[in-house]
Amino acid sequence: MRERIYLCLAHMSGKEMDFIKEAFDTNWVVPMGPNVNGFEKELEDFVNKRDGKSSLDKKVVGLSAGTAAVHLALIACGVGQGDEVLVQSFTFCASSHPITYLGATPVFIDSEKDSWNMDPELLEEAIKDRLAKTGKKPKAIIPVALYGMPYQIDRIMEIANRYEIPVIEDGAEGFGSLYDGQSLGTFGEYGVLSFNGNKMITTSGGGALICPDSEKAREILWYATQARESYPYYQHEAIGYNYRMSNICAGIGRGQMTIIDEHIAHHKHVQELYCELLKDVKGLTMHGNPGPEYDSNFWLCTATLDPELKIKGQENAYKQVITGAVGGAAGVTHAASTAVTECQPNDNVEALRVALDAANVEARPLWKPMHKQPVYKNAPAYVNGVSEALFKVGICLPAGPYVGDEEVKYIADVIKDSIV
């Protein structure tokens, strides 16, 4: 049996241990230190380039998670109890949950069909409608780089600027992705990065917030270190959080930054290989860059299946309750009560996932839209059916550094062999 092929696992450069050893040797094993400072500077150098040349002056603060970055960006934008935030529905829950941490309400915006990300037309419709219904503007807008694909940021920024609403770019999946030659996360007021173990680079766990200037970065750093005041004793005049990145994790990140360009090139190569190997499979379509201004990192490679495409074993889809974590998802401890929900992928998508799993290949459905999640059943949503339709037909295929050409060919063969 072939060794398990995972969606995306981090690959070490060999330099991580040098930075970690230095941290131990100098006793910097706390949420600050030379590695944190160095990692932030390296991230700034990376994201501030446009068309390969340094042209921006954004500042970066290293944090404990991408979710923490979303949370602090919302605080910096003044989001609080009773406010509303416009957020992409087609995303992971970390984009929306921090809104609720603050007692605010997420207002979900559906996707446009080309990038699969926030629909600018629905965004403006939502702003007008919330103004009419609540008498005040939403406090922030959060577009998301789904699977690394850039959003229509030029149109989103035009709308946001016109209504004077700050944009928090959730680029957790889009580190290294570009729109018109510029890094995602550098267009809006703030940009969110994630370095979870399955992202383009990892710090094992961790994230960062791209800030507009040094003053805003200092404010974020203050909130991330329990909002302590400059007294010889602990004085707190605001609520802060323990969100600073550790010097050990930052050391891993510094090692990862030495191979980030290789990682991005690899993911793009895997995408091209999938497209080539699966181009003649009727009923299966790989999702690619919608136009020349889009430059996705292809964190994950995604495909859609025609509803009429038949997969072996399809008649058995959703017949049994899953007792373990799908795809080895860590931390899933709450057993499902039923095998089905009212919004789920088509039977052929589930059958293909099961077939790939049986062949030791990890695959997953697309993100279930947040406006279809039970926990957000009462949240306002502006929908056009795009994200729900994509969720029913989409699947994610492995694309990480350990997925070589032979693995891609194997996966393509399994897919072909699974079709009736």
Per-residue pLDDT tens over the stretch 94-127: 999 999 999 999 999 999 999 999 999 999 999 9
Structure tokens at 184: 């995602």
Q: Give DSSP secondary structure letters for 325-371.
A: -GGG-TT--S--S-S--SS---HHHHHHHHHHHHTTB--EEPPPPGG
pLDDT at position 137 is 97
pLDDT at position 339 is 81
Cα distances (angstroms) measured from residue 227 to each of 221, 231, 242, 404, 416: 8, 12, 9, 46, 56
pTM: 0.94
* Ranges assigned E (strand) in 270-313: 284-286, 294-295, 301-305
- The residue assigned the tokens 């040349």 is 53
- The residue assigned the tokens 């605001």 is 238
pLDDT at position 12 is 82
Nearest to 409, CA basis, from 277, 313, 318, 255: 277
Q: Where are the alpha helices (DSSP H) in 48-103?
A: 66-76, 97-101
pLDDT for 87 beyond 60: yes
Q: How confident is the model at residue 1 (pLDDT cuts 50, 70, 90)?
A: low
pLDDT at position 323 is 66
- The residue assigned the tokens 């919302």 is 74
Average pLDDT, stretch 389-397? Answer: 98
Mean of pLDDT over the chain: 94
Q: What percent of the chain has pLDDT over 70?
A: 97
pLDDT for 20 beyond 90: no
* Ranges assigned E (strand) in 92-222: 105-109, 140-142, 168-170, 178-179, 182-183, 190-194, 207-211
What pLDDT digit, counting tens, does each position of 344-379 carry? 999 999 999 999 999 999 999 999 999 999 999 999
Q: Which domains does the chain have, with CATH numbers?
A: 16-259 (3.40.640.10), 261-418 (3.90.1150.10)
Q: How confident is the model at residue 31 (pLDDT cuts 50, 70, 90)?
A: confident
CA 345 – CA 350 distance, rounded (Å): 7
pLDDT for 85 beyond 80: yes
| Spatial contact of 76 and 190, defined as CB atoms under 8 Å apart | yes
User: For 6-15, 31-40, 254-263, 342-351, which range has the lowest pLDDT when averaged over its residues?
Assistant: 6-15
CA 39 – CA 35 distance, rounded (Å): 6
What pLDDT digit, counting tens, does each position of 37-77 carry? 999 999 999 999 988 888 899 999 999 999 999 999 999 99
175 torsion bin: left (phi>0), alpha (psi -120 to 50), beta (else): beta
pLDDT for 135 beyond 90: yes
pLDDT at position 333 is 64
Non-local (6+) Cβ contacts of 54 within 8 A are 45, 48
pLDDT at position 125 is 98
User: For 22-36, 203-217, 292-306, 404-418, which range has the lowest pLDDT when averaged over its residues?
Assistant: 22-36
pLDDT at position 325 is 60
Average pLDDT, stretch 145-162? Answer: 98
pLDDT at position 197 is 87
Pairing verdict, β 140-142 and 84-88 = parallel
pLDDT for 138 beyond 60: yes
**Other beta carbons less than 10 A from residue 34's beta carbon:** 16
